[in-house]
């Protein structure tokens, strides 16, 4: 290469390097033996940066070089702050690496301008650091300080930070962690308005459904420190009508036995456990202590434990002789305790992952079989093995006795697992014997881990499930519960079938009711259902197909297609049985004419009911003989249409009930 060209290339390379340097300023890389001129308080940060993973800590990855800020010093028990000297904000973006705990304001990185926090971010309960960028353009030319905070002593009570850089280019899309605004809480764009959600943080399985003192108690799997699964704690909310919920202080926190996995709660009316201290009976909760799911419980197994409350669930004390059941298998969990009056004892169905030595996997190890064991007790503390259910059942067992045809044909017991699939049979206090093959209860994409209120004074059995897998972009919460449904059994040619129907309390949310019967016959084509441009709706549609080959309802951009040939509704890639029903099958409805009695179904019709919230739709077919639950992210305005294809629809009518928000009392 000629010398002149070589010189030009060298000059261009140096110029490029100078420009890059001018556009990027390294604030701190934590490669030195100490923190230099940063100010340290407390004991979490030690004398200087850590060199990777600390003792007893899971492997830390994703940091640059050899050093980083790691406050897992002596475990999660230490706290403190690390604050930079003043820096001039002469570049728009501040990028850095962050990991560790996810508790807002307590395991975080803050940017302070004039001693006020203007940007903040937490980790994601992950020991792998990832890049995060703040946009500080609003504060150009001002001086700021960076503050790293560890103010948590429990699980995930540490923060991981490395490599602060100011730059004119964002390393990742700028991040802004929206603080919780109590004035606008429950009004967020993707917040469900008549389904339960936690104020903030992750939510999954409903736990401990119990009724006492005029209150419905809903406990739930909860991560109060972040919007992803982890750090399982029992959240707690109460309601007087199953619609309007008041979230209380968390009931059960992780401890040395593990994080708090699913379970149940009972009112010990007869004080069989001896926990009562006042005039009112104690509430007793049963939960799985999930060993080895937190640093404090490292190496410990799953066990079953007990806690009790003597102030209507406001405060809880864990039993000092926990666990009440030691480890029994692979991930044994989810105790569902109830009183069996004919036997005068308590019963506990419990999920167990049981090793089957007769079946080996590809590695030659025993296959794990999912089973449900039954235990009994007279005092809630000592439990005796009673029986093993012989069929495959995976986690979160539910077990209730239900009337058949309103009690006119006696009752049967219903056992289900987390998927909602169920068996109907008989129970003698120790052994459950199914009398028919397993059936499916929910045909949608998002129903899981349901539990029931089964000790209500009005003798209803009310089910609440978790609508798993929903998306709530930019929200301070994650996940929602399904709307409460009443359970019953109805006689069919195939034996008793489980019926699910929204609780009648939903009428308290109705703000308007519109009933309309479309012209007969209704020709092939598309029509917007009048009045259905409502964000929150309870919509019932009934039709007699006639020559129509398909009927399509487009609800907020989601397609529900009924096919005449298959007798099914297809939605979200799933099929839901929806055959032509008779008046005798699934008579339930919320149809009400303003001038007459309750609705009477047409003969040989299809009846579909949709509960439409901001981010979910729940479908009930033919009076609840089939159900399906779906979550979605809204893509269109709340306009709903009806399309008929392949022929005329003989008859069609609908009732639309607009709903108000349950959060606006």
Angle value at C-alpha 388, between 383 and 389, nearest 5 degrees: 130
Distance in angstroms (rounded) separating the CA atoms of residues 205 and 260: 12
Name the residues annotated as catalytic.
205
How far, rounded to the nearest angstrom, does the alpha carbon of residue 380 sit from its chain's CA centroid?
A: 29
CA 94 to each of CA 91, 131, 132, 466, 620: distance values in angstroms, whole numbers, following the listed order? 8, 10, 8, 39, 51
Residues 626 and 589: beta-carbon distance below 8 Å: no
Distance in angstroms (rounded) separating the CA atoms of residues 562 and 579: 9
- Phi, psi values for residue 548, rounded to 5°: -65, 135
Residues with Cβ within 8 Å of residue 367, at least 6 apart in sequence: 355, 356, 359, 360, 361
Angle value at C-alpha 27, between 22 and 33, nearest 5 degrees: 135
Residues 197 and 477: beta-carbon distance below 8 Å: yes
Distance in angstroms (rounded) separating the CA atoms of residues 81 and 107: 10
Distance in angstroms (rounded) separating the CA atoms of residues 333 and 424: 23
Tell which residue, 278, 305, 286, 274, has the closest CA to residue 213: 278
Q: 32-37 contacts: CB < 8 A, separation 24 or more?
A: 32/67, 35/82, 37/85
Tell which residue, 204, 214, 626, 210, has the closest CA to residue 443: 626
Instruction: Give the pair of three-digit tokens for residue 320.
Output: 């000092």
Tell which residue, 99, 83, 97, 96, has the closest CA to residue 45: 83
Tell which residue, 171, 172, 147, has the closest CA to residue 161: 147
Distance in angstroms (rounded) separating the CA atoms of residues 644 and 578: 16
How far, rounded to the nearest angstrom, does the alpha carbon of residue 25 sit from its chain's CA centroid?
A: 42
């Amino acid at each position: 290469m000629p010398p002149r060209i070589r010189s030009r290339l060298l000059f261009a390379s140096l110029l490029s390097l100078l420009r890059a340097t001018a556009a990027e300023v390294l604030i701190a890389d934590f490669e030195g033996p100490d923190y230099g001129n940063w100010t340290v308080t407390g004991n979490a940060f030690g004398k200087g940066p850590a060199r990777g993973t600390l003792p007893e800590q899971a492997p830390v990855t994703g940091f640059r070089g050899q050093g980083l800020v790691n406050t897992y010093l002596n475990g999660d028990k230490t706290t403190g702050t690390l604050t930079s000297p003043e820096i001039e904000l002469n570049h728009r973006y501040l990028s850095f690496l962050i990991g560790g705990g996810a508790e807002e304001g307590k395991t975080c990185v803050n940017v302070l301008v004039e001693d006020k926090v203007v940007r903040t971010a937490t980790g994601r309960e992950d020991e792998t650091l990832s890049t995060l960028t703040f946009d500080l353009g609003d504060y150009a030319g001002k001086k700021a300080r960076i503050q790293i905070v560890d103010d948590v002593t429990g699980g995930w009570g540490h923060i991981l930070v490395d490599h602060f850089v100011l730059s004119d280019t964002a390393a990742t899309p700028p991040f802004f962690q929206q603080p919780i605004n109590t004035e606008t809480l429950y009004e967020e764009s993707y917040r469900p308005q008549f389904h339960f959600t936690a104020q903030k943080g992750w939510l999954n399985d409903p736990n401990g459904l119990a009724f006492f003192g005029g209150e419905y108690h809903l406990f739930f799997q909860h991560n109060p420190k972040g919007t992803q699964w982890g750090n399982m704690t029992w959240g707690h909310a109460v309601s007087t009508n199953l619609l309007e919920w008041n979230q209380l202080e968390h009931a059960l926190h992780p401890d040395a036995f593990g994080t708090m996995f699913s379970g149940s709660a009972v009112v010990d009316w007869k004080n069989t456990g001896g926990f009562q201290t006042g005039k009112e009976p104690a509430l007793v909760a049963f939960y799985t202590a999930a060993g080895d799911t937190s640093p404090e419980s490292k190496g410990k197994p799953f066990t079953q434990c007990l806690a009790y409350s003597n102030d209507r669930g406001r405060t809880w004390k864990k039993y000092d002789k926990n666990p009440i059941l030691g480890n029994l298998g692979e991930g044994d969990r989810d105790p569902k305790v109830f009183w069996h009056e004919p036997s005068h004892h308590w019963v506990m169905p419990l999920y167990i992952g049981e090793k089957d030595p007769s079946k080996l996997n590809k590695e030659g190890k025993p296959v794990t079989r999912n089973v449900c064991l039954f235990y009994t007790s007279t005092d809630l503390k000592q439990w005796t093995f009673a029986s093993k259910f012989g069929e495959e059942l995976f986690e979160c067992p539910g077990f209730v006795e239900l009337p058949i045809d309103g009690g006119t044909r006696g009752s049967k017991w219903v056992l289900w697992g987390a998927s909602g699939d169920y068996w109907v049979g008989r129970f003698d206090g120790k052994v459950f014997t199914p009398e028919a093959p397993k059936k499916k209860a929910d045909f949608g994409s998002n129903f899981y881990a349901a539990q029931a209120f089964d000790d209500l004074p009005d003798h209803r059995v009310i089910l609440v499930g978790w609508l798993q897998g929903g998306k709530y972009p930019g929200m301070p919460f994650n996940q929602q519960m399904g709307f409460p449904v009443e359970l019953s059994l109805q006689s069919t040619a195939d034996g008793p079938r489980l019926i699910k129907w929204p609780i009648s309390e939903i009428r308290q949310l109705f703000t308007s009711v519109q009933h309309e019967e479309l012209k007969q016959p209704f020709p092939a084509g598309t029509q917007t259902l009048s009045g259905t441009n409502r964000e929150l709706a309870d919509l019932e549609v009934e039709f007699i197909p006639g020559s129509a080959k398909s009927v399509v309802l487009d609800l907020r951009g989601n397609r529900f297609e009924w096919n005449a040939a298959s007798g099914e509704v297809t939605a979200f890639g799933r099929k839901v049985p929806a055959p032509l029903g008779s008046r005798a099958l699934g008579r339930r409805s919320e149809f009400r004419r303003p001038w007459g009695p309750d609705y009477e179904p047409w003969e040989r019709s299809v009846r579909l009911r949709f509960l439409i919230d901001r981010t979910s739709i729940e479908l009930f077919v033919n009076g609840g003989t089939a159900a399906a639950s779906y979550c979605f992210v809204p893509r269109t305005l709340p306009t709903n249409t009806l399309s008929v294809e392949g022929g005329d629809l003989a008859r069609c009518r609908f009732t639309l009930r607009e709903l108000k928000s349950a959060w606006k009392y």
